[in-house]
Amino acid sequence: MLSICAVANNLILVILGTAWVESTLYLRILCFSALFQPLIIINQNILQVFGYSQLFLKIEVFKKSLSLVAIASCFFYDITTLLWLMVIIAAISFVINGYFAIKYLPNINYKQQMSSFIIICSCAILPSISAYFLGTILATKALYTLIIQLLLIIVCSGLIYLLLRQIGVLNNPQQISSMSDE
């Protein structure tokens, strides 16, 4: 998500054209909102697998209520405000789902969840920052050049990410997925 956020301008220019350039900000905000989704889904699945479907339903009703309040409160504001509220609601959802997964399942630790989230985000930040600056340096308006530039940015970011994995900054995926085993 952070990489998409970094290349949002070029991505929109290549896929949708110049008429949609103003939507770059919206895509970037939505990327921040989606940043929390993997751990939210993991915590939801943990609750469902261990038989807490009633609790899962109550949490979902509460989160949907928050979303409705956000939509209603932004009726007089612009879409940007609504999208930032979606980021806040995603963060709140992450905290709520994590809290109940920890509360009802003693083998899961909030510190482990946060460390996994921080490790993954920190390994995504460096390639994303490099993609953003590479896109800024190579900025151009020609479509064919934008496509080549976008491919170059994706390859460079991917190589930086793989390098981080190779040198051990990003821990083994089995270590991250074994949060509930400890």
Is 120 in contact with 61 (CB distance < 8 Å)?
no
Weakest mean pLDDT among 33-42, 130-139, 158-167, 172-181: 172-181
Query: Which pLDDT score is estimated for 102?
Result: 79
pLDDT tens, 100-156?
887 777 676 777 777 777 777 777 777 777 777 777 776 665 555 777 777 877 787
Q: If you count them, how many residues does the chain have?
A: 182
Amino acid 26: pLDDT: 92
CB-based contact 134:156 (threshold 8 Å) = yes
Which of 118, 117, 97, 137 has its CA nearest to residue 6? Answer: 137
- Residue labelled with tokens 């085993």: 181
Q: Which of 52-56, 59-63, 137-141 has the highest mean pLDDT?
A: 59-63
Number of H helices, E strands in the chain: 9, 0
Question: Residue 34 above 80 pLDDT?
Answer: yes
Residue of 98, 95, 93 whose CA lies nearest to 60 = 93
